[in-house]
């Protein structure tokens, strides 16, 4: 539908893709240029990632979350966190095994399990439970069969942030049922009003039961660079590492060196990015609420989860906005059946274009 609108000459405002529109900060680019000129970086990198990069990750976790990890055994470099999330089921899921997956959620969670021959039990994220998984609602026989549990906070698509007490309940649940927790924290550094989201690994006992996936993509506007990492339980890290040695040959070392520059920058490179996203969030959320739409102002991530007006489905409201206003959004049911009745918008475009989108919606009505 978007392509057809473009072919008609429609000026499209794309609020459907979570890809930062801002450039990678210049100190990171400068380091890449320097490192790319070093012939030592032109050969195969190590499978696990440079120890210097993994040490920078460990130091960052200590500063940011107060969590201590061993860079040699509890950190693994990834070709973006998506790669690690997609491959971890190959290490721990056999044909017929079960994984617990949030819905609505990132499609890679169930797809990775499916590729490994497993099946999924969906954990519905609904408003009545603050869009968090209801652990008590998981049947005991399902919990006993499950090998993996995927979690995501700050969440895509709902932007909900889990608190430490929820993570502690997850640790207890996983320990009781012998489940490996795989927490996706890709959006932890896109937060607003100075309220920093917690890491799953901050919960007591978390490293006994699981790992946390992270990425430089959203934090430093490096989506195209493809570099991330997994941190936590050494046996889970080792299992994923064994799969990766048979699938890929690691991350270009020049990119890892640039990643060290990013991780050692503290908040110098990210404070400005958060300020821009917060300004955009306020423009979009304020405008949508003024139109009478039902939504909560996100505490983190760059997604806005919006209830569709009465008489619409997720798909029909998405179609309405494209056809009548040239605005691309993502239907909530595309993230799983519990997402029906919602659409997702992003703030990865300028505040002027977001204000224009609101004006267009005001004109077309529903």
Q: Are residues 245 and 285 in the same domain?
A: no
Q: Are residues 257 and 123 in the same domain?
A: yes
Which one of 215, 237, 263 terminates a domain? 263
What is the pLDDT, as a whole number, of residue 80?
97
Q: Are residues 194 and 230 in the same domain?
A: yes
Distance of CA 85 to the CA centre of its chain: 10
DSSP letters spanning 329-350: -EEGGGG-GGGTTEEEEE--S-
The pLDDT tens digits of the residues spanning 314-346 come to 999 999 999 999 999 999 999 999 999 999 999
DSSP letters spanning 62-90: HHHH-----TTTSEEEESSHHHHHHHHHH
The pLDDT tens digits of the residues spanning 23-67 come to 999 999 999 999 999 999 999 999 999 999 999 999 999 999 999
Evaluate if residue 249 carries a pLDDT over 90: yes
**Both structure tokens of 6:** 């473009």
- Average pLDDT of span 262-268: 91
Please report, for the domain that includes residue 133, its CATH number: 3.40.640.10
Evaluate if residue 347 carries a pLDDT over 90: yes
Which one of 228, 246, 263 terminates a domain? 263
Instruction: Give strand ranges (E) for 66-218.
Output: 75-78, 98-103, 119-124, 146-152, 180-184, 210-215
Please report, for the domain that includes residue 300, its CATH number: 3.90.1150.10
Distance CA 162, CA 305 (A): 16
Cβ count near 314 (within 10 Å): 24
Q: Which domain holds residue 299?
A: 2-23+270-364
Q: How confident is the model at residue 266 (pLDDT cuts 50, 70, 90)?
A: confident
Q: Are residues 7 and 48 in the same domain?
A: no
Q: Are residues 258 and 290 in the same domain?
A: no
What is the pLDDT, as a whole number, of residue 189?
97
Q: Are residues 206 and 115 in the same domain?
A: yes
**Distances from the Cα of 31 to the Cα of 35, 64, 246, 260, 328, angstroms:** 6, 23, 30, 9, 36
Beta strands 294-295 and 228-232 are unpaired
Strand-pairing partners, residue 75, are 231
Which one of 263, 285, 320 terminates a domain? 263
Q: Are residues 60 and 193 in the same domain?
A: yes
What is the pLDDT, as a whole number, of residue 6?
85
Q: How confident is the model at residue 17 (pLDDT cuts 50, 70, 90)?
A: confident
Distance CA 106, CA 102 (A): 8
Q: How confident is the model at residue 5 (pLDDT cuts 50, 70, 90)?
A: confident
pTM: 0.96
Q: How confident is the model at residue 2 (pLDDT cuts 50, 70, 90)?
A: confident
Backbone angles phi, psi at 232, to 5 degrees: 140, -140
**Both structure tokens of 96:** 């017929």
Question: b/e string for 54-86 if b means 16 or more Cβ within 10 A?
Answer: bbbbbebbeeebebebebeebbbbbbbbbbbbb
| 3 Cβ contact partners less than 8 Å away, ≥ 6 residues apart | none
Question: b/e string for 7-23 if b means 16 or more Cβ within 10 A?
Answer: eeeeeebbbbebebeee
- Average pLDDT of span 168-178: 98
* DSSP single-letter state for residue 302: S
The pLDDT tens digits of the residues spanning 142-152 come to 999 999 999 99
């Amino acid at each position: 539908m978007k392509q057809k609108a473009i072919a008609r000459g429609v000026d499209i405002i794309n609020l459907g893709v979570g890809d930062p529109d801002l450039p990678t900060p210049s100190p990171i680019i400068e380091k890449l240029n320097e490192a790319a000129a070093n012939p030592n970086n032109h050969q195969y990198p190590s499978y696990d990632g440079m120890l210097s990069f993994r040490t920078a990750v460990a130091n960052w976790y200590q500063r940011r979350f107060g969590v201590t990890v061993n860079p040699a055994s509890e950190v693994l470099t990834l070709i973006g966190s998506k790669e690690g999330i997609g491959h971890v089921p190959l290490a721990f899921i056999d044909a017929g095994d079960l994984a617990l997956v949030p819905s609505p959620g990132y499609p890679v969670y169930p797809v990775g399990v499916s590729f490994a021959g497993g099946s999924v039990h969906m954990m519905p994220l609904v408003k009545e439970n603050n869009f968090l998984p209801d652990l008590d609602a998981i049947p005991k026989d399902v919990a006993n069969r499950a090998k993996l549990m995927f979690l995501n906070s700050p969440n895509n698509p709902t932007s909900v942030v889990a608190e430490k007490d929820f993570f502690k309940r997850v640790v207890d649940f996983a320990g009781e049922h012998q489940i490996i927790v795989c927490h996706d924290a890709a959006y932890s550094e896109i937060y607003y009003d100075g309220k920093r989201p917690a890491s799953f690994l901050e919960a007591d006992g978390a490293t006994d039961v699981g790992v946390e996936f992270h990425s430089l993509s959203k934090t430093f506007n490096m989506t195209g660079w493809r570099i991330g990492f997994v941190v936590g339980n050494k046996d889970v890290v080792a299992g994923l590492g064994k799969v990766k040695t048979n699938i890929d040959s690691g991350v270009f070392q020049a990119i890892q060196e640039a990643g060290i520059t990013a991780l050692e920058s503290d908040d110098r490179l990210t404070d400005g990015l958060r300020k821009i996203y917060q300004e955009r969030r306020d423009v979009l959320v304020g405008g949508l609420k003024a139109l009478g739409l039902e939504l909560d102002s996100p505490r983190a991530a760059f997604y806005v989860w919006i209830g569709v007006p009465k008489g619409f489905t997720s798909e029909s409201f998405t179609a309405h906005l494209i056809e009548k206003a040239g605005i691309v959004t993502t239907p909530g049911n595309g993230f799983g059946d519990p997402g029906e009745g919602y659409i997702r918008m992003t703030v990865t475009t300028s505040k002027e274009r977001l204000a224009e989108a609101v004006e267009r919606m005001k004109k077309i009505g529903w």
